[in-house]
Amino acid sequence: MQEQAIHWKSAANTRIPYRLYVDEATSALEQERIFRGNTWNYLCLEAELPDAGSYRATYAGSTPVVVVRDADGEIYSFENRCAHRGALIVLDKAGRADDFQCVYHAWSYNRQGDLTGVAFENGVKGQGGMPETFCKQEHGPRKLRVATFCGLVFGSFSEDVPDIEEYLGEEICARIERVLHKPVEVIGRFTQKLPNNWKLYVENVKDSYHASLLHMFFTTFELNRLSQRGGVIVDDTGGHHVSYSMIDPAAKDDSYRNQALRSDNERYRLKDPSLLAGFREYDDGITLQILSVFPGFVLQQIQNCLAVRQVLPKGIAATELNWTYIGYADDTPEQRKVRLKQLNLVGPAGFISMEDGAVGGFVQRGIAGATDMDAIVEMGGDHAGSSEGRATETSVRGFWKAYRQHMGQQAADA
C-alpha cells in the first residue's frame, strides 16, 4: 500500500490534497486507522433499543455491525459477520431477537455476540462434525466496546480509545447534554445516497462559512447569518465541533447587501409562515446548533428541528447519510407538529440542506484531473481553534488535524 501517495505541503491544514478524495489506498487505510481505529463510531440511539432483544444492524465505517440490548439491560455490539464463513449474521435492519443465527450454516450467537452453537457440531450418525479441538469460545465475530452518552450509542473496535466523555471533551459533552437532556423519540428515518467521498460531507457540516452563502433560505429568513451572534467551538483534538447562533433581528445589517450576494433577496417571503413559527425551548437563546463528533456523527438543532445524522463511507465516491429525526418523548401534539413542519428545512428535500446533498458531488466531479492539486482552506487563518466569528474554516482545519493524527500523516509528511 502506497501511503506516500498523499503529499501534504505543510504542517498546517490550509491546503488539502484532492487526492485524499479519490485514492483507493487512502480509503482502505481510513477503515483501519479511523473507523476501526481509536475512534468512537455512532451506532444508534438508545431509544431505538427499548427492550431486551431489541437490535439494529448498522455500520462502523464500512464494517457491518449489530447493536443489541441484552436481558441485563446492557447494550452490546459485534461485527455482523459469521465466524464460520463470513456471511452476515443479521439481515434485517432492526427487530427483536432472543439470539441470532446465520442463515448459511445455522451457526448461532447470543445477544452478546458469543458463538453458542455450531450446527451438526458432533456430525451426523457419528460421521463428520467439527474436530474435538474446536473451541467455540475462541471464535466469534469481533466485539466492539460500547459506550452511551445522553442516549447516543457509540461503538469502537479499539481497546485504546479513551472513555467516551474524555473522547468528546467537556465542551462537546455539555453541548450534547444541552439538546439530549431528556428522553427522545424517533419520528422518522431517511437515507440519502451522496455522490461523493464521505469527507466532503463531513467538511460541509463543519464549514460555517458556506451556510448562509449557499443556502438562501437561511439568510433570507434570518435563520443563520454570519453577522448573527454565535460562534464555533473546536475541541483540542480538532475532530469535534459545534457551530451555534442566535436569531437576532438586529443582525440584519448591510454586510450582505454590500457584497451584492445572490443569497440576500428581500422579495422572498413565505405565504405560510407557520413553517418557521417555532417555540422557545432552550434557555440560552441558541436557535441553531450543529455539532459533529469525529469521524462521522452530527447532532442538529435548527430551531425546534432535531435530528442525528450518521455519515457512512460507501466506497471512494459514495456516501450514505442516515437521518434520524427526533422529538422529545414528552412533546405535546402542537410541539410535535412544529417539528414535523420545520423538518422541511432539512433532509433530502430540505430548504436549507437540499444543496448539501449536491455540493459534495460538485467537488468530486470538479477535482477529476486535478488530483495533484490542493483545496484552499484558509478562511480565518491557519489555526484550528474555537472562534467567535463564523466566517472561518477553523473547524474544517480541525477535522484535518484529527484526520492526520489518526492516519499518521502529521507534519513529518510535509
Partner 1 sequence: MIDLLQLAAFNAAYAQAIDSDSLEQWPGFFTEDCHYRITHVENEAQGLPAGIVWADSRDMLSDRIAALREANIYERQRYRHLLGMPLVEAADEGTARARTPFVVVRTMHTGESDVFATGEYHDRFVRRDGRLLLAERVAVCDSTVTDTLLALPL
Binding site for partner 1 (CB under 8 A): 93, 186-195, 214, 216-217, 220, 265, 268, 270-272, 274-275, 320, 325, 336-337, 339-341, 343-344, 347-349, 351, 354-355, 357-358, 361
Compute the half-sphere exposure of residue 235: CA atoms within 13 Å on the CB side of its CA: 22
Residue 326: what are its φ and ψ, rounded to 5°? -130, 155
**Residue of 33, 69, 28 whose CA lies nearest to 48:** 69
> Rounded to the nearest whole angstrom, what is the least distance from the CB of residue 400 to partner 1 in the complex?
25
Instruction: Give min distance, CB of 21 to partner 1, in A.
Output: 17
Min separation Cβ 92 and partner 1, Å: 11
Kindly tell me which of 10 and 191 has the beta carbon lying closer to partner 1.
Answer: 191
Cβ at position 34, least distance to partner 1 in Å = 24
Is residue 46 within 8 A of residue 148, CB to CB? The reply is yes
Of residues 5 and 88, the one with the C-beta less far from partner 1: 88
**Helices and strands in the chain, H and E counts:** 9, 19
Q: Residue 85 or residue 189: which is nearer to partner 1 going by CB?
A: 189
Residue 26 or 322: which CB sits closer to partner 1? 322
The nearer residue to partner 1, 93 or 257, going by C-beta atoms, is 93
Could you tell me the smallest distance in angstroms from the CB atom of residue 228 to partner 1?
Answer: 19
Q: Whole-number minimum distance, CB 136 to partner 1, in Å? A: 35
Under 8 Å between Cβ of 52 and 73: yes
> In the bound complex, what is the minimum distance in angstroms from residue 46's beta carbon to partner 1?
17
* Residues 6 or more apart in contact with residue 95 via CB below 8 angstroms: 54, 55
> Which positions ≥6 away from 47 have C-beta within 8 Å?
151, 183, 184, 185, 186, 326, 329
Report d(CA 245, CA 395) in Å as an integer: 15
Place of cell 450534547: 176
The answer to whether 112 touches 76, Cβ cutoff 8 Å, is yes
**Rounded to an integer, what distance in angstroms lies between the CA atom of residue 325 and that of residue 335?**
14
Q: Is the Cβ of residue 243 or residue 364 nearer to partner 1 in the bound state?
A: 364
